[in-house]
Amino acid sequence: MLNYIKNNDIILGLISAIFFSTFIYLSYFGISFKLINTLLAISALGLFLYIPKKAILVAGFFIGIFWFYWVGYSFKYNGVGWMLPIVIFTFGLFYSLLFGLLALTKEVYIRAVLLFLISFIEPFSWNWMQIELIFIDSYIGILKYQLVIVLLALSLPNYINQKYKFIPLLLIILALDINYKPQQEAPIKIKLIQTDVKQNEKWLPQNQLTQVLNNIKYIEKAIDANYDLVVLPESTFPLFMNKYPSLYERLTLLSKKISIVAGALYRENNLNYNVSYLFQNGDVKIAKKLVLVPFGEYIPLPKFARKFINDTFFASQPDFVPAKKPTDFMIKGVKFRNAICYEATTQDIYVGEVKYVLAMSNNAWFTPSIEPTLQKLLMRYYSKKNHITIYHSANTAGTGIIR
């Protein structure tokens, strides 16, 4: 049986992909086994260094599918749901080619270098494939130097005499996560709201008033419970809020009793923005989204290609416009960095002096799937990497404090 597996590239590649992805699916079911995750993550990297070239291509293909099969779910809301299998196959093919860089050589140390370099690649600014993320629920740290140590420990046995062959594996001890310190929570009372609005109902005009009234109820309940701040999800108000003065006035009045952060849209000079609104003490501050979702909120291609894709797949909807810099909210004397969905999983939003982040998402685009789980794991990754506490409010799934 072992010989059959060893000589079958498809099975070897599939096993490698499973080892590389298991931590996501365990987390999806609320299971956390640090030892198992540690062994599987180390084994996955070891397999990448030693398996045959064809097996690497197979592994990359299945990794792309296991991690990102859900991306195409959103296409059905634009009337092109038939593209789902094409999107899934495209992700598989792309990551087969990306990890296929390792198949250019059989030399273990070169593969280790290439694997480390791959950890820096973010195609079209899509950064949800973080190789170090496989260690987020393990005993290994998630920093680059710890990845280098693991790759070094796995590579050296190939170049050492049989008697001492596995001694380099002891180097992995140097990659253990032993300096972890839990982040502090903000010194104010925060209510995080999780809504449950289906994506195919969210933007229907006849549902707009219901969602607005429900949001008002959430805020009033938070006031009754004596919270200092209430945070609602991304686009929880499904409208261009600056075009609704009566709603503005209502939230402004409520903000004299509680600080309110809520997602909505904003239109200025015929340009559309995905924003967070802060209503506080009768005043309003707007935070425009800094990092847009590639192929979701903007098309990272030349103008002629953008127009074709928007006309063909997105009902001619114009791209959103990004902010020029991150936005901080000062709430009850505490500074919070604002992050809207994808932003909370990018390093750009953590630049500068940041201790607390208010994040909001609309995960209805992709549920049910592993997307909210992968998003949470990535936020844990950035929270740990930057020593930051994240307060996350989401529609359908993902709400909670991330430390």
Q: Which residues are catalytic?
A: 234, 289, 341
Give bridge partners of residue 395 from the DSSP assignment: 195, 362
CA gap 208, 101 in Å, rounded: 49
Pairing state of beta strands 334-340 and 356-362? parallel
CB–CB of 310/299 below 8 Å?
Answer: yes
- Our measurement of the distance from residue 358's CA atom to the centroid of its chain's CA atoms, rounded to an integer in Å, reads 15
Residue entry with tokens 């590389």: 20
**Nearest-10 Cα torsion for 379, 313, 125, 150:** 60
User: Is residue 398 classed as helix, strand or coil in its secondary structure?
Assistant: coil
Backbone φ, ψ for residue 6 (5° rounding): -60, -30
Decide: residue 250, CB within 10 A, 0-12 exposed, 13-18 middle, 19+ buried.
Answer: middle
CA gap 199, 247 in Å, rounded: 22
Q: Please confirm whether the linkage preceding 368 is cis (ω < 30° from 0).
A: yes
Residue entry with tokens 């253990």: 176
What tokens does 274 get?
Answer: 């995905």
CA gap 348, 7 in Å, rounded: 44
CB–CB of 98/122 below 8 Å?
Answer: no
Give bridge partners of residue 272 from the DSSP assignment: 267
What letter does residue 329 receive in the DSSP assignment? E
Q: With CA atoms as reference, report the closest residue to 319 among 343, 304, 300, 338.
A: 300
Q: What angle do CA 326, 327, 329 make, to 5 degrees?
A: 150
Residue entry with tokens 């809504």: 195
